[in-house]
Amino acid sequence: MKIYVTNVFVDDQDKAEKFYTDVLGFTVKNNIPLGASRWLTVVSCEDPDGPELLLEPSEHPAVKPYKDALVADGIPAHSFQVVNLDAERKRLDELDVEFVVEPMDAGPVRMAVFDDTCGNLIQLIEMTDTAAA
């Protein structure tokens, strides 16, 4: 068994598509109209055949309170792995991405958290040498 698709609830699919592709560097894999919304998935350019991230509209009534609670408590909706956290932080800073947790050591990883502008906090993780041991 493997992960095929997972989702992140977004307030606006157009805005999310722009952020996740133009800013984060993902590539659109599927963009299929479904009524007022789309089956809109993105993948990593580093793994185009890997798991897809569905940019799913936040339409269900339970989603807004759920997302609001996560953000209020500082809990990221998802975690993405990077090779060099400091370099990625600098790149995203130049694109005006708002970090809510600056890069820090967290046991066997280095991590930081940013706002995806679509109602979510996203965590970046860099594996350290101790994580590989």
Model pTM? 0.92
Residues 6+ apart with CB under 8 A from 111: 85, 101, 103, 104, 123, 124, 125, 126
Q: What is the CATH number of domain 5-132?
A: 3.10.180.10
Task: Output the CA torsion sign for 97, 44, 62, 75.
Answer: negative
pLDDT tens-place string over residues 2-54: 999 999 999 999 999 999 999 999 999 999 999 999 999 999 999 999 999 99
**Domain residue ranges in the chain:** 5-132
pLDDT tens-place string over residues 71-115: 999 999 999 999 999 999 999 999 999 999 999 999 999 999 999
